[in-house]
Amino acid sequence: MQKKTRVGVLVSDRGTNLQSIINACRDKSFPVQIAIVISNVSSAYALKRAKVAGIPTAVVDHNKFASRSGFEGAIIQHLKKAKIDLLCLAGFMRVLSPKLVGAFKNKIMNIHPALLPSFPGLHAQRQALEHGVKVSGVTVHFVDEGTDTGPIILQHPVPVMDDDTEEALSKRILKWEHKLYVDAVRLFVDGKLKVEGRRVLHV
């Protein structure tokens, strides 16, 4: 039997991408165990999703730390205690410093609702509509020290309709987020990702 990859997930809000990974873990052919879910917001609904699934949780409130270094140090302690192999950001609304990125080099994934490098940062769907693009989409990437600048693992295009609102476009993109994140985790678990500079090769 294949050893299960231990995944940690950082969340701040609803956790729908967390739920997609939880759902995938119910398939015995998906060798992943979510070892811990950590939130910087105690009221995040994602924590309830984790508890319903029987996953250990922790709250590390950034407001209770005098520095980002202290905040991230506490997160790192939780992750190392949980012996994670991969860290997934699922709506985690804090930019990671080189300290946390360096602790799990090329082992941190994030998902972004745009075709990076276009429209990084917040409100990517609004940015796409304001810019008038005809195609938006989803990107899963490894996290580096920048904001949405890490090596790209997977992307999928989502057409922008003439009558789209930010909400409508977000909903269509979200459906692909759920699929693409699980696909990217699977590639990592199967040892099929190799980072060479800015490129992620599927080996």
Q: Which domains does the chain have, with CATH numbers?
A: 1-104 (3.40.50.170), 110-203 (3.40.50.170)
Of 22, 69, 14, nearest to 44 (Cα)?
Answer: 14
Record the pTM. 0.96
pLDDT tens for each residue of 104-133: 999 999 999 999 999 999 999 999 999 999
Which is catalytic among the residues 62, 78, 112, 202?
112
pLDDT digits 0-9 by tens, 78-104: 999 999 999 999 999 999 999 999 999
Give exposure, 161-183, as e/b (b: 16+ Cβ within 10 Å). Answer: eeebeeeebbebbbebbbebbbe
Count of other CB atoms within 10 angstroms of residue 1: 5
Active site residue 156: no
Residue 158 near residue 136 (C-beta atoms within 8 A): yes
% residues pLDDT > 70 (the chain): 100
* Span 11-58, pLDDT tens digits: 999 999 999 999 999 999 999 999 999 999 999 999 999 999 999 999
Q: At residue 1, does pLDDT exceed 80?
A: no
Closest C-alpha to 123, from 169, 164, 157, 87: 169
- Pair type for strands 199-202 and 193-196: antiparallel
> Which is it for strands 5-11 and 32-39: parallel, antiparallel or unpaired?
parallel
